[in-house]
Structure 1
Amino acid sequence: MKTCSSVLEAIGNTPLIELARIGKDLPGKIFAKAEFMNPSGSMKDRIALKMIEDAEKEGKLKPGSIVLEETSGNTGIGLAMVCAIKGYRFVAVMSEGNSPERRQVLQAMGARVELVPQAEGGKPGQVTGEDLALVEERARELQKELGAFWVNQFHNPGNCAAHYETTAQEIWRQMDGKIDYFLDVVGTSGTFTGIATALKEKDPNIQCWAVEPATAPVLAGKPVTNPKHVLQGSSYAKIPDLWQPRVCDGYITVTDGEAIRAARRLATEEGLLCGYTSGGNVAAALRLAGWCDPGARIVTILCDGGMRYLSTDLFK
């Protein structure tokens, strides 16, 4: 292996791991893309690098620029890493409802963290669309105040492009093109839309399914009974701007309990310490693997690592 001139060259080319133990008695086979093995610990490293480099090419960033982003933590951490290498000051605007480990990592990497109180009745660990609206409002204020470049991952096409150009291509190669299903929890929709678009271009028969919280299946057009759930950084009970329903073949929901149990099984049976959203993806994959055709190959994403959730109830 050649040396890297910076940590940015280590982004991507993450392993794709068959979950052969927790899925051993099921008809389908589950494969998980270990995105928590990116340098800063999540799939968001890919979009952080892409969106910053796009902004540089477009002349939106110059030496000494301030970069600003609203984040649940992972995109912010990826951006803090990229900005540290490129010499930009970075300001992360996030809800107080996100796990404290994320803000601690951001601060350790030199970012300024602007914490926004949750909406009335908010619960730590459960960030809602209302909470996110307050974060966005504060981000707009700071952008004007600081004259910063706002990355704006919820609307930035580079978010989808990063996964279209890298993650999807890696999955296709690693699976030798033999994929029956792809499924993923939808947050900004950059990961789902980018990967699903690329995979369907290669094989239109691949089924791409969106994973949603059982209490907030808004993409499936069903009522939101409770916008509060444990899938941090995703499913804010609203349809994201980057969402493309044309590449979605179906919807599957998971409860908080299912996500937590799957995350714990990943740790104890597969040796993979991952977060809530990874647990949600695996819970959905397990259900799909139970009723799909024998031998069907299911690919999902392990979004981030469990070390960012040690203050929560995930592993207690």
Structure 2
Amino acid sequence: MEYAENILGTIGNTPLVKINKLAEGIPALVLAKYETFNPGNSTKDRMALKMVEDAEADGRLQPGGTIIEGTSGNTGMGLALAAIIKGYKMICVLSDKQSKEKMDILRAVGSKVVVCPTNVEPDDPRSYYSTSARLAKETPNSWYVNQYDNPSNAAAHYESTGPEIWKQTDGKVTHFVVGVGTGGTISGVGKYLKEQNPNIKIWGIDTYGSVFKKYHETGIFDENEIYPYVTEGIGEDILPKNVDFSVIDGFTKVTDKDAAIWTQKLSKTEGMFLGNSAGSAMKGIHQLKEHFTKDDVVVVLFHDHGSRYVGKMYNDEWMKQMGYVEEEVTIAADLIKNHIDKPLVTVKTEELVLHAIERMKHFKISQIPVEDITGIVGSLDETDLLRKFIDNKDIANLPIREVMGAPFSIVQKNTSIEDVSKLIDKDRNAVLVDLEDGKYHIITKHDIISAL
């Protein structure tokens, strides 16, 4: 009979899967190292078990102890599985940008979850780095994993992931591409593969808001490059000791939007239900395609499973809110389709300026058309009103006809976005769309910028 002694015995030996439609235009064979086949559904199971076993061996982790780790979710899952089998308690510290699904899954496997704010400095006491270290000091018989600087992280991939890729490709792999977070995967795999063939190229996928790419290219840790980003699991605002820049040939950065869109593409085109670092990696391969030839074998590692992200990039409402939905916007009608159901807010020439200001505040708008019985005859803009208020503090009690500007230009529904854009400048912040039958709708600068 063939069976594993426990769930930890199923870690590793994940398959390589060919990318087909999404690899069109890539002059190479593209193979995915499909790490969701690990029991915790991510590549982090490998290093989680290695870190636990190494800590047990040298006494850092004692029987009945508590494992404490700051995690984006996947390492926590791997550690939680090890904790269950080996009889430890588990505390996972996450930043609040991580998906609700990740937090719920960790609780489902018995972990205590502590949530920290994302937008704080790494050394801020509230950060998930600092909170993890503090909890380890405060908790008796505990072990702080610190996957970022723990050498067992990279060692796990040197001992397992790298050899698997070499064997599965029969030594024909020419490029390895992977998202970089703690650095353990790229460093461990990269070190092993380059020992087998120094000509193999190792490429890291970075995200905007992270320091890796610039630091690798210049040696400068540029704090100006650090800002909040949406993509989970890759990129950092610190330099983990596990990142061995000497084995990395280069980085390419992928935007949050591209990561989300390409994650959906993998699911809908290849049937690969994956996390959003996989979308980053797949888009990154297309950005790197000039480095590949028809004889190359490119292995890309897909970290984790899509079940962690059903409330985010697999949720169409979330994608729309983030502005990630790819919609064809070419004419004026496209710019107003998301608010066509809302009536045009106007004011009359004989109303007081005060009434226009109240309407702007109520509807949260910055400009408003002015009409009389003949139709649209003028316009009001908040910037223009502010200038006039500086000259005349009693402007609020004046009739609108005395302070209104020229009416907004009127375009047809099929007017191109390019032509609409030409009508909006520093003096004209909006245009009206003729909906026929005497009805109009408004297009603002915000509408055009949102469509870019």
Counterparts in 2 of 1:97 and 1:155: CA distance versus 1, 3 Å: same
State the alpha-carbon separation in 2 of the partners of residues 111 and 154 from structure 1.
20
State the alpha-carbon separation in 2 of the partners of residues 156 and 133 from structure 1.
22
Aligned-residue offset at 1:132: 9.9
2:21 is the counterpart of 1:21: yes
Instruction: Calculate the TM-score normalised by the size of structure 1.
Output: 0.92
2:240 is the counterpart of 1:240: yes
State the alpha-carbon separation in 1 of the partners of residues 315 and 280 from structure 2.
15
* Matched letter for residue 104 of structure 1: D
Contact 1:73 1:98 in 2 (8 A): yes
Secondary structure class of the residue paired with 2:21: coil
Counterparts in 2 of 1:132 and 1:253: CA distance versus 1, 3 Å: farther
Higher RCO, Cα 8 Å, sep 6+ = 1
Aligned match of 2:342: none
Contact 1:28 1:288 in 2 (8 A): no
Secondary structure class of the residue paired with 2:193: helix
2:265 is the counterpart of 1:265: yes
Aligned match of 2:184: 190
Aligned match of 1:219: 213
1:149 to 143, 155, 160: 143
Counterparts in 2 of 1:303 and 1:131: CA distance versus 1, 3 Å: farther
Contact 1:30 1:289 in 2 (8 A): no
Counterparts in 2 of 1:84 and 1:251: CA distance versus 1, 3 Å: same
Aligned match of 1:124: none
* Matched letter for residue 162 of structure 2: A
Cα displacement string for residues 137-179 of structure 1 (whole angstroms, at most 9, x for unaligned residues):
1112211211211111111100000000000110001111101
1:134 to 127, 135, 143: 127
Aligned-residue offset at 1:67: 1.0
Contact 1:23 1:30 in 2 (8 A): yes
* Matched letter for residue 142 of structure 1: L
State the alpha-carbon separation in 2 of the partners of residues 131 and 75 from structure 1.
22
* Matched letter for residue 107 of structure 1: R
State the alpha-carbon separation in 1 of the partners of residues 94 and 277 from structure 2.
18
2:168 to 155, 171, 174: 174
State the alpha-carbon separation in 1 of the partners of residues 138 and 62 from structure 2.
18
Could you list the structure 1 runs, at least 4 aligned residues long, displaced by more than 4 angstroms after superposition.
128-133, 222-226
* Matched letter for residue 259 of structure 1: A
Aligned match of 1:103: 103
Alignment of 1:1-316 (within 5 A): 2-119=2-119, 134-147=127-140, 148-221=142-215, 224-225=224-225, 227-289=227-289, 292-316=292-316
Range 241-250 or range 155-164, more displaced:
241-250
Contact 2:117 2:126 in 1 (8 A): no
State the alpha-carbon separation in 2 of the partners of residues 20 and 27 from structure 1.
12
Aligned-residue offset at 1:117: 3.0
State the alpha-carbon separation in 1 of the partners of residues 166 and 30 from structure 2.
15
Secondary structure class of the residue paired with 2:22: coil
Cα displacement string for residues 251-284 of structure 1 (whole angstroms, at most 9, x for unaligned residues):
2121122212221111011100011101111111
Cα displacement string for residues 80-118 of structure 1 (whole angstroms, at most 9, x for unaligned residues):
111000010111111122111111111110111112233
Contact 2:209 2:235 in 1 (8 A): no
State the alpha-carbon separation in 1 of the partners of residues 225 and 129 from structure 2.
24
Range 18-27 or range 52-61, more displaced:
18-27
Cα displacement string for residues 38-79 of structure 1 (whole angstroms, at most 9, x for unaligned residues):
101100000110000001111222221111111111100110
Cα-Cα RMSD: 2.0
Contact 1:28 1:298 in 2 (8 A): yes
Contact 2:125 2:131 in 1 (8 A): no
Contact 2:276 2:313 in 1 (8 A): no
Counterparts in 2 of 1:214 and 1:94: CA distance versus 1, 3 Å: closer
State the alpha-carbon separation in 2 of the partners of residues 284 and 119 from structure 1.
26
Q: Percent identity?
A: 36
State the alpha-carbon separation in 2 of the partners of residues 211 and 133 from structure 1.
28
Counterparts in 2 of 1:237 and 1:138: CA distance versus 1, 3 Å: closer
Contact 1:213 1:255 in 2 (8 A): yes
Structure label with greater radius of gyration: 2
* Matched letter for residue 266 of structure 1: L
Aligned-residue offset at 1:286: 2.5
* Matched letter for residue 106 of structure 1: L
How many residues of Structure 1 are paired with residues of Structure 2 in the alignment?
309
Which segments of 5 or more consecutive residues in structure 2 lack a partner in the other structure?
Answer: 317-452
Secondary structure class of the residue paired with 1:253: strand
Contact 1:212 1:254 in 2 (8 A): yes
State the alpha-carbon separation in 2 of the partners of residues 51 and 298 from structure 1.
29
Which segments of 5 or more consecutive residues in structure 1 lack a partner in the other structure?
Answer: 121-127
Secondary structure class of the residue paired with 2:127: helix
Contact 2:92 2:113 in 1 (8 A): yes
Secondary structure class of the residue paired with 1:199: helix
Contact 1:91 1:113 in 2 (8 A): yes
State the alpha-carbon separation in 1 of the partners of residues 125 and 82 from structure 2.
24
